[in-house]
Amino acid sequence: MEVSIISSEIVKPSSLQFNDLKPYKLCLFDQITPMTYASIMVFFRNCIDPNSHANIHQTLLSQLKTSLSETLTFYYPFSGRTKNNFYVDDFDAGVTYVEAKVNCSLIEFFKLKQNELLNKFVPFLPWRDETESQQEELPQMGFQVNIFTCGGIALSTSLGHKIADGGTLALFLMSWAASFRGLPQYKIIRPNLSDASIAFPPRDLPPSYRNLKDKLWFGAKGNFVTKRFVFDAKALTKLREIASSQRVPQPSRNEVLTCFVWKHASMAAAVVNNNNNNNGFPNKDSVMAHAVNMRPRMKSNALSTSVGNLFWWAKTTPKDIRSLELSEMVEMVRESLVNFSNEYLESIEVDVGSAVSEFYDSIEHIINPLSNKDDDNATEIYAFTNWKGFFNEVDFGWGKPIWVGAHGNVGPEFRNMIVFVDGQGGKGIEAFVTLEEKHMAVLEKDPQFLLFVNPNPEGLPVTLI
């Protein structure tokens, strides 16, 4: 499959008086999130008649670009550049906008079953460690419109994580889609650009925290690969039955799948370690950190449309999860999520600085000892993020997406990460799992894991069959 760039340019807000705008303040959670690009891509069918005149194609692309410019007027911080990890300015700098042609149809693409090809659809490679020296020159966002020979489109976003999270991007794409469809202005979601930095004001971070932030996200070394695993509704139901207990009689799909993937990924890491050391089964520590969207959990609804990184980590740190049953792991994860939603979230609202300090102090004890361990015995950290429900309602007038994809392979220093997105029809869950290559090879041959999963299936969306 080849993706040919038709054009690449900078798009700016359509109607802003740039000189009159004050710098946009980052919130504290933006400050402690590194500059790296997350990616998401929504696939649509029947966007363009492949037999129509080229002028019609160009009209659609022109409308997409114009409506993007109009949407940036409301989300103008996305068009700026980060300064000193404290604020965003230069709102006329713009976002990257790319138009591209794909030399195959949607059906042919899905039949390829090559997850790494997804990186061809985004303007910036995902989950790379963007250095501080480059940060003030990098666009906050990049968009790429990929047109397939059948007339389908993959509309892809490179999201600068320094300024926004998945919840923010979902609001933006919904607003862009509404503008493209010509809906009245009052139906376009207006973002809240002030309350995040008021609730969680930026501050001067100690150098130790800045270093710890980078280690937490990019401290690993290895050859990481990303694979796509599909869990259908039947498999999820069975896993929920296995994981149920007296304490958690009805575990959620998110809890069950988090624990199932975490357990088997940790077992794969231990197998590789055991093979390398050849000295018996090692007792390798494993930590799970789950990104939790704070917006729906806050007492006030004021932050529901706020721009920024309004998520934080709920962590679980058992001694050795490989000896635990799935039901026991679910109980531990449920406890961490409940504590986060109640006590911890209240502490964040009252004194965010102390809450963040407490988290970093606890993580420091996990990460810093790594330098005193050999790589085979170092603590494994698995980060989970749940993007289910964020992007399946994005509608540019071509119907809802037939598929939502996350990313191909990541940067060489990234950590273990698992991204959940909605499966086709919303009934299943797709997991984009990033692990060290040797660990992934073991996981893909794990018979107990494969009982419940379809590894990167041909998976034609039902609307294409």
pLDDT per residue as tens digits for the range 209-223 = 667 777 778 767 778
How high is the pLDDT of residue 372?
Answer: 46
How high is the pLDDT of residue 413?
Answer: 73
Q: Give me the residues paired with residue 347 across strands.
A: none
- Give 92-139 pLDDT, tens digit per residue: 999 999 999 999 999 999 988 888 999 999 999 999 888 655 767 899
Closest CA to 156 of 45, 288, 49, 41: 41
Burial annotation 364-383 (CB, 10 A radius, 16+ → b, else e): bebbeebeeeeeeebebbbb
Burial class (CB in 10 A: 0-12, 13-18, 19+), 150: buried
How high is the pLDDT of residue 362?
Answer: 65
Q: Would you state the torsion angle of the CA atoms of residues 63, 58, 90, 191, taken in this order, to the nearest 10 degrees?
A: 30
Residues 322, 368, 311, 97, CA torsion sign: negative
CATH number of 2-199: 3.30.559.10
d(CA 258, CA 256): 5
Answer for the pair 321, 263: CB distance below 8 angstroms, yes or no: yes
How high is the pLDDT of residue 370?
Answer: 46
Residue 27, SS3 per DSSP:
coil
2-199 and 207-455 have identical folds: yes
How high is the pLDDT of residue 464?
Answer: 53
Q: Which residue positions in the chain have pLDDT lower than 70?
A: 18, 53, 55, 131-133, 135, 209-210, 219, 276-284, 300, 319, 341-346, 349-350, 352-353, 355, 359-360, 362-378, 425-426, 456, 458-465
What would the two tokens of residue 258 be? Answer: 């988090």
Q: Looking at the domain covering 207-455, what would its CATH class be? A: alpha beta
d(CA 141, CA 206): 28
The ranges assigned to domains in the chain are 2-199, 207-455
